Amino acid sequence: MREYQYLMNNEVQNNMVVSLDYTVRLEDGQSIDSSIGKTPLRYLHGHQNIIPGLEEALTGMRVGENHPHIIVPPEKAYGARTEATEWLPRDIFPVDGEIQPGMTFAVEDESGETYPLFIKEVKTDNVLVDYNHPLAGKTLSFEVTVVDVRPATPEELAHGHVHNGDGQF
């Protein structure tokens, strides 16, 4: 037996490329990122290009639709804060001057993925670093407007991301 599924071509569903205007705020209302005044975010829906809580909430939204408060808890955003800290030798850091608590370094792993590393504490020969994402443990509130939706190309589906655009989030 065949299953027929009617797909609205203006609705956010898996394997659609979505253009999105968004503003993301912390619980206290402080805006931390926004596409307003820049180009909308473009991503491939259903391929974990964006945080799971936002992807879930966007499913079924239509072009032109706005949602002022999508509340995303840490477990569906950047995870809980963990005790992911480590003392590292001072001299592996490529800094001529002083290393200070609060500084951030970008670290690249073998696969070419970069992630931030935060300096928490500094001693003469060692530095305490924190591997948590800066938004770990935070509940986020998104305001979104769906600007455009189109089916992904076969190539985009094979790669799992959008081409000719930013696609990264």
Residues that bind Zn ion (CB under 5 A): 159
- The half-sphere exposure of 60 on its side-chain side, counting CA atoms within 13 A, is 2
- Of 55 and 156, which has the nearer Cβ to Zn ion? 156
Q: How far is the CB of 17 from Zn ion (least distance, A)?
A: 12
SS3 (DSSP) at 90: helix
| Minimal distance, residue 45 CB to Zn ion, in Å | 16
Helices (H), the chain: 52-58, 154-159
Cα–Cα distance, 6 to 156 (Å, whole number)? 22
Quick one: 42 or 138, whose CB is closer to Zn ion? 42
Q: How far is the CB of 159 from Zn ion (least distance, A)?
A: 3
Q: Which is nearer to Zn ion, 124 or 164 (CB)?
A: 164
Q: Nearest to Zn ion by Cβ — which residue?
A: 159
Residue 46: closest CA among 34, 33, 60, 59: 59
